[in-house]
Amino acid sequence: MAATSHPLSTLTAVNVLQAGGNAMDAAIAACAVQCVVEPGSTGIGGDCFALFAPRGEDRIVAFNGSGRAPAGATLEACRVAVGSGEIPRNSPFAVTVPGAIDAWEQLLRDHGTRSLAEMLQPAIRFARDGYPITERVHFDWGRQADFLRQDPNARRMFLVNGKAPAMGSVHRQEALATTLERIAAAGRDAFYTGPIAEDMVGYLNKLGGPHTLADFANARGEYVRPIRTNFRGYDVVECPPNGQGIIALLILNILSALPVHPDPLSSERYHLEIEASRLAYSVRDAIIGDPDHLSVGIEEILSEAFAQGLRSRIAAGRPSDLGSTHFAYPYGSTVYISVVDKDRNAASFINSLFDPFGSGLVAPMSGILLHDRGVYFSLKPGHVNVIGPGKRPLHTIIPAMLVKDGRVRMSFGVMGGDYQAIGHASFLSKILDYGMDMQSAMSVPRVFPLPGTKNLEIELSLPSEVTSALQAMGYEMIERPSPIGGAQAIAIDWENGVLSGASDPRKDGCAIGF
C-alpha cells in the first residue's frame, strides 16, 4: 500500500511495488514524481527526512537529509546582505545545500532493492512528456504567481503568460528532465559536482550568495538515532533534532496527564491541545536547532518532569502567558509519503522545499528550484539556531511511526510547515483517545496556534460555537483562506494480515493498496 498527496505519485509507488520493489524503492520513486508534478510542494532542490522499519520490526532506522549552510554563511555576512531582522525567502542566504538527492541515493543503496537510475524514470517521463495540473496543485500555484514572477527563471519555467498553468492543462519541465537524466546516469555526484552544481552555485553567487562548489561536493546526510515517547501504550517514533519531531513528542507528553474531554470537537479539548502546543513550541523556538549545538539534552526535554513543568502552566479557560520566542513562521509546503510492502517493510518519508515554491530561485540551466529552509535561521547572536557556517537550521518536516509490542502499527505524517508537530499530536489523540479511524482523524477541523502569540489560525469548517468559545477565552481568531496541512497514514493489522490507508481530503492524493 502507498499513500501520498498526489494520485500520480501514489500510482507510481504502487507500480514499483507490483514490479517487485520494496517500500523504500516505492517511496523514493513516488517522491521523485512529486518533485515534478507537485513542484510547489517539493523538489530535488529541497531536503528529506525518513524513517524505515525493516519487516515492520521495532528496529527503526532514521535518516537526516537536511542540508547545511555554506561555509561562508556567517552571521556577519548574512546581516550585511539582509539586515538584522529575518532572512527573506528569496535571499540566497535562505538556500542551504539541498540534501534530498544525497539522501535518496544513500537510502536506496542501504535499504532499497532498485537503483536510483531506475526509480527516477517515472519522474523523468512526467517532466519530459508532461503532467496534468490537479485541483489543489493549481490552487497553491496560483497563490504564488506574483512571487514566481520575481525570478526570471521561475517565471519562464512555472508561469504561462504570467499566470499559473490552468487546472487540467499539461505542464512540462524539460530542463529538469535533462537534469534528472544526468542524475540517473551518474548518481548523486551529478548533482553535487560538475555542471549541475556549477549552475546552482553560479546563480546563487550572482545573487550575492556565499555558496561554493566545495559546499556542494562535501554535502552528506546521516543516519541518526530515532527518538520516542509512550502515549496511551504505544511508542511514538520520530527523527531527532534538527527536526521538530521532539516537539510532537513533548506535546503528547503534556497531553498524556490532562483530562480527556468526551467530545473531541469541544472548545475545552481544543483549548488543551492549543495550550500544550503553545508551550511546546515556545520550547522549540528557544532551544531546538542543529543537534551539534543543543544546550539541553533530548532526554531532559522528553522527561516527565519537563512535561509537568509546562503542564502546570496551563490554566482553564484562558491562554497561558508565554515568554519571548524566536519568531512565528506559519507556512510551509511539503510532501509526505507512507509505503508498506508485502514483507511489511515500512517507509515514512518526507521531502520539502519549505515555503510554497521554496525560495522561488531557479538555477537557469538545470531547472532546479531551490528551497528556502534557511529562513528559519535566527539572526540573534548566541541563539541555538543562529546562522553559521555548516549549520543545519531548525526543520519542520517530521516523518513518524507508531509502535507496539515490537512492531510498527502505523506509518504516518502530517504536512503543513510549523503545524506538523501539533498535527502529529492531534491526529494520534483522535485515534488513541477517541477511537477514530485514520480518515476521520485527518478530517477533523484544524486549529493552529501561531508560535509565540495568542493568534489561532482556524479552518472554515471549525464549528462556530467552538470559534466563539475560543475567542471568549482570549484567543485571536484568523480564518485560513486555505486548508491547514495534509496527512497520510498506513496502519498494519498484523493479526489479520491487512493494511489500511488514509489520505487527507485537503490534498489531491489517495491511498492505494493491492
Q: Catalytic residue positions?
A: 334
Instruction: Yes or no: say if 322 and 411 are a contact pair by the CB < 8 Å rule.
Output: no
Contacts with 405 (C-beta within 8 Å, 6 or more apart), sequence order: none
Instruction: Yes or no: say if 427 and 338 are a contact pair by the CB < 8 Å rule.
Output: no
For 32, half-sphere exposure in the C-beta direction (CA atoms, 13 angstrom radius) is: 34
Determine how many CB atoms are found less than 10 A away from the CB of residue 26.
Answer: 33
Looking at residue 114, its amino acid is R
Contacts with 451 (C-beta within 8 Å, 6 or more apart), sequence order: 278, 281, 282, 284, 285, 325, 326, 327, 328, 329, 330, 418
C-alpha 331/C-alpha 457 separation (Å) is 11
Instruction: Return the C-alpha cell found at 487.
Output: 496527512
C-alpha 185/C-alpha 172 separation (Å) is 21
Instruction: Yes or no: say if 318 and 10 are a contact pair by the CB < 8 Å rule.
Output: no
Instruction: Return the C-alpha cell found at 204.
Output: 546563487
What is the residue whose three cell numbers read 502567558? 321
Residue 243 is classified by DSSP as B
Distances (CA, A) of 427 to 70, 264, 328, 489, 493: 36, 11, 22, 10, 19
C-alpha 30/C-alpha 12 separation (Å) is 6
Q: Which long-range contacts (CB under 8 A, 24 or more apart) does 453-458 make?
A: 453/328, 454/319, 456/274, 457/330, 457/484
**What one-character-per-residue DSSP string does 53-122 give?**
EGGGBS--EEEEE-----TT--HHHHHHHH-SS---TTSGGG-PPP-HHHHHHHHHHHH-SS-HHHHTHH
Instruction: Return the C-alpha cell found at 224.
Output: 541518526
Looking at residue 101, its amino acid is I
Determine how many CB atoms are found less than 10 A away from the CB of residue 388.
Answer: 17
Determine how many CB atoms are found less than 10 A away from the CB of residue 286.
Answer: 18
End-to-end CA distance of the chain: 7
